[in-house]
Amino acid sequence: MCGIVGYVGKQQAAPILLQGLSKLEYRGYDSAGVAVFDGDGIVVEKCKGRLKTLCDKLDDGNSLKGTLGIGHTRWATHGEPSDINSHPHMSDKGRIAVVHNGIIENYLKIKEYLIQKGYVFVSETDTEVIAHLADYYYSGDILDTVIKVINKLEGSYALGIICKDNPDEFIAVRKDSPLIIGLSEDGNFAASDIPAVLPYTRRIYLLEDKEIVRVRRDEVVVCNTDREVVQKEVFEVDWNVDAAEKGGYEHFMFKEIMEQPRALRDTVNPRIRDGKIVLDGISIKGKDVENIDNIYIVACGSAYHVGVVGKYIIEKLSRIHVEVDLASEFRYRTPLITDKTLLIVISQSGETADTIAALREGKRRGARVLSVVNVVGSTIARESDDLIYTWAGPEIAVATTKAYSTQLSVMYLLAGYFAQEKGLVSGEQTAEYIRILQKLPSLAEKVLENKEDIQYFASLHYNSKDVFFIGRGVDYAVSLEGSLKLKEISYIHSEAYAAGELKHGTISLIEEGTLVVALATQEALFDKMISNIKEVKARGAVVLALAVEGNTAIEQVADSVIYLPKCEDLIAPSLAVLPLQLFAYYISVIRACDVDKPRNLAKSVTVE
């Protein structure tokens, strides 16, 4: 959950490192640091706080001279955010500096061993053991040293390592944490994610676990732990640098909310051909689909919420039993997996530690794995049997919006595809379903046009202490996401409840003035929702309802109503989530919260 970057080349390293870190801050932002070889030795500058503090301290990098360096932006795991615990970490005598993303699980054992050998530790981090262990094994050959070090490490890591004796190269290596290599005429890079190198190059190497890279100014050599050279293919990034910039918007989150119609089009349209749903990345067809008797969907956070909607629609359309699991739970239970089980893994980053572990556990038990991933070439993408990319483009705001929406659109595609392949639907029904899906982007545009209404509701409710989101069926699934969006970026306590469940305990929390956001987009459940709204109104709640245009009866029970354009029940979740995202966004802005980088969070959760 940290971001690392490395550079060696013709330019001054520090400004490039800081610029690269600014693109990785979404991965962690409680402290930052750089280490640069200045001609005599390694100079480390680091401090607690946002990257800006470090940039100010270093005059945007201009005060540090040298053309080789590594940098880090941190999301604390071992040891509080502090100057000392910030990376890079140095070995005794200042020979080796290390930046690390991940967790070293056996660090205490290594630390004890090194203390016995006379090493002195200054930080509480697990990373510091890597620097000292490298010093301990150092033989004059840094590649050999790094191989010895990683052979001792348990856990996950992406590492950038520089050594005082090698002023023209750094070493990069990964295991279970993301790392890419950027290649350019003016120098070469390593980084946790592509946006960090995109201003300089589009040519990258995607690394496999335990590939060790010697990065020099005019040469990059990748090898395995036996020092055998590995030939890598260059991956050309085809999206624009602007895609990872704010482009005039005040916040990434707002930009990404507004990009959703485009992202939906890009994800859905290429998968519709000749009146059919065509999923190129998956090889399960016809009989294979008929053969599936059980689907597990595993994911974390918002991606899990997508799975909850997915369960409703896949079961409804394809008549296959679906279970949804939090990846962190799935990995430690004993799911009933057979050779007829399909595991659907959903992840924006493709690097979420719990989701990767769940995928591997599912595979180990014999499930076929189909992943829905946004980041091309990520671990989950690479380890899956079948793959569907969401074409949301880079998502920078920590709170997901466009990735959620595109993941959801893939659930619709999959549900329709399974029904089509099982022969449950006629050509006409498929055509009608496709028509409904293809309407989604323009309906989403309509919803987003009404953003000022949502801004107004946010201005009425930004001071709420507690907010409850209620809904039935897929509306309940969307409530989960609405509630998460609100709490994570505005720090208002909120909960999502299946509307029929509230009276089994939680209704005791409703008091005079409590805000209840009630989703009532489902025709078949509309009257039931009216009753549930009445129940909370009777206890003093203020109700903001979400309904589909024309269902004006809701105005008789709710205090205010947000209307969605007329749409089929099935796709209402894709539209209903949009006002909830905007509601959370505007409340966060009014409360002067850090919208794109909420406290305690990081975008890519690469630790368990």
CB 581 within 8 A of CB 401: yes
CB 171 within 8 A of CB 149: no
- Residue 434 burial by Cβ neighbours in a 10 Å radius (0-12, 13-18, 19+): buried
What's the sign of the alpha-carbon dihedral 416, 417, 419, 424? positive
Number of residues that bind ligand F6R (CB under 6 A): 15
User: Binding of ligand F6R at residue 301 (CB under 6 A)?
Assistant: yes
Stretch that binds ligand F6R, among 60-68, 193-201, 343-351, 537-545 (CB under 6 A): 343-351
User: Binding of ligand F6R at residue 267 (CB under 6 A)?
Assistant: no
Catalytic residue among 46, 311, 485, 603: 603
User: Binding of ligand F6R at residue 352 (CB under 6 A)?
Assistant: yes
Helix (H) or strand (E) holding 162: strand 157-163
Residues forming beta bridges with residue 181, ordered by sequence position = 190, 205
CB of 598 to ligand F6R, least distance (A): 9
Does the annotation count 2 as an active-site position? Answer: yes
* The binder of ligand F6R chosen from 127, 267, 328, 348 (CB under 6 A): 348
* C-alpha span between 459 and 44 (Å, rounded): 46
User: Binding of ligand F6R at residue 605 (CB under 6 A)?
Assistant: yes
* The binder of ligand F6R chosen from 488, 502, 520, 563 (CB under 6 A): 488
Q: Name the pairing type of β-strands 466-471 and 96-101.
A: unpaired
Stretch that binds ligand F6R, among 243-251, 332-340, 345-353, 568-576 (CB under 6 A): 345-353
Given the complex with ligand F6R, which of 303 and 572 has the nearer CB atom?
303
In degrees and rounded to multiples of 5, residue 390 shows phi and psi of -90, 135
User: Binding of ligand F6R at residue 31 (CB under 6 A)?
Assistant: no
* C-alpha span between 174 and 98 (Å, rounded): 13
Task: Give the helix, strand, coil percentages of the chain, each rounded to 5.
Answer: 40, 25, 35
Closest CA to 66 of 162, 199, 185, 158: 162
CB 212 within 8 A of CB 146: yes
Given the complex with ligand F6R, which of 166 and 390 has the nearer CB atom?
390
Stretch that binds ligand F6R, among 80-88, 196-204, 214-222, 298-306 (CB under 6 A): 298-306
CB of 488 to ligand F6R, least distance (A): 6
Does the annotation count 603 as an active-site position? Answer: yes
CB 46 within 8 A of CB 87: yes
Q: What is the DSSP letter of 565?
A: P
Given the complex with ligand F6R, which of 95 and 255 has the nearer CB atom?
255
User: Binding of ligand F6R at residue 131 (CB under 6 A)?
Assistant: no
143-202 residues in contact with ligand F6R (CB under 6 A) are: none
Given the complex with ligand F6R, which of 349 and 521 has the nearer CB atom?
349
User: Binding of ligand F6R at residue 303 (CB under 6 A)?
Assistant: yes
366-425 residues in contact with ligand F6R (CB under 6 A) are: 399-400
Stretch that binds ligand F6R, among 36-44, 163-171, 341-349, 589-597 (CB under 6 A): 341-349
* The binder of ligand F6R chosen from 22, 201, 349, 379 (CB under 6 A): 349
Given the complex with ligand F6R, which of 318 and 400 has the nearer CB atom?
400
* The binder of ligand F6R chosen from 31, 267, 328, 355 (CB under 6 A): 355
Helix (H) or strand (E) holding 446: helix 427-449
* C-alpha span between 274 and 119 (Å, rounded): 67
Q: What is the DSSP letter of 603?
A: S
Which two tokens mark 108? 């205490």
Question: Which residues form the interface with ligand F6R (CB under 6 A)?
Answer: 300-303, 347-349, 352, 355, 399-400, 484, 488, 604-605
Residues with a known catalytic role: 2, 603
